[in-house]
Amino acid sequence: MGASLNPRLKNYSVLVIKYFILTTYALTTFVPLWWTFSNSFRNNEQIFTQIRLFPESFDFTNYINVFKSTSIPQAFYNSISITLVSLVGLLVVLVPCAYVLARYRFKGAYLLYMFFALSIFIPNITVLASTFKLYQMLDLYGGKYGIAYTYIAHQLPFCVFLLVSYMRAIPVALEEAAIIDGCRTRDLLLRIILPLSRNGIVTISILSFISIWNDYIYALILLPKEQLRTLTVAAAFAKSEFLVDYGMMSAAVIITILPVIIIYLVLQDKIINGMAAGSVKG
């Protein structure tokens, strides 16, 4: 009897520890976010006087001031346009690259694939100085959409790694049948491979959107002009010259992360299923 209880007790203990770690992580993520949301309805005096997870009242003055006295509206447009241009450019480069690595065998193909795979582990911040110098040499520094090249380069390694695994899972017999019917390579990619890789492309697009939208350091360095600031940078400058209005800054932060939260809540199933499928295929 005791021997049969030990495995159950062990499994129960592991389960308790697992949920304790997950709950602790969830709280450390959610509580600061909720505290920021609460402060977005409060003024400096209320914030400095008492720490509260719920505001005294839902006063939208800070949100109104954000749109009236800061560059947040222009920054929101900049973030949307730069992110969309970057995503389009990423997909244009990514899809043919992943297809070639997934289907064609040529000298150096494996090394090229490993180059993309290993590049995932290189932190983006380590190439900031060289990127800055390169942008100055190529006269891209300060240009609104020039930063898209950097975002594409940052996202490409992981996206190639994930999309190649999707495309390798597509049965080769489908392509062979299409080729027998006279399908050209371009039509093969557009009519067969792309539709069957739709889940992977959607997952990649969502993750890349979140990553590009949340970027701060590259947007701060490569877009020095105030009218070209993205939302994350503009939120950091949402303050007056001599006073930091923490309530207004909290409102700016909430406005900045709100699109990401909405996208994740609406498409979280696709993200999770896409990542899971990409990890076991190929």
Spatial separation of the C-alpha atoms in residues 227 and 234, rounded to whole Å: 10
The pLDDT of residue 281 is above 50: no
Q: What is the DSSP string of the chain?
A: -HHHHHHHHHHHHHHHHHHHHHHHHHHHHHHHHHHHHHHTTS-HHHHHH---SS-SS--THHHHHHHHHSSHHHHHHHHHHHHHHHHHHHHHHHHHHHHHHHH---TTHHHHHHHHHHHTTS-GGGGHHHHHHHHHHTT-TT-TTTHHHHHHHHHHHHHHHHHHHHHHTS-HHHHHHHHHTT--HHHHIIIIIHHHTHHHHHHHHHHHHHHHHH--HHHHHH--SGGG--HHHHHHT-S-SS---HHHHHHHHHHHHHHHHHHHHHHHHHHHHHHHHHHH--
| Residue range 51-83, pLDDT digits in tens | 888 888 888 888 888 888 778 888 889 999 999
pTM of the model: 0.79
Lowest mean pLDDT: which of 58-67, 89-98, 133-142? 58-67
Going from N- to C-terminal start, the domains of the chain cover 2-39, 62-280
**Which residues have C-beta within 8 Å of that of residue 224, sequence separation ≥ 6?**
142
What's the pLDDT tens digit per position in 210-258?
899 989 999 999 998 888 989 888 888 776 655 777 888 888 888 888 8
| Tokens standing for residue 265 | 């809540």
Pick the CATH number of 62-280 from 3.40.630.30, 1.10.3720.10, 3.40.50.150, 1.10.357.10: 1.10.3720.10
So what's the pLDDT on residue 240?
Answer: 61
CA angle 270/274/278 to nearest 5° reads 180
- Residue corresponding to tokens 């909720």: 34
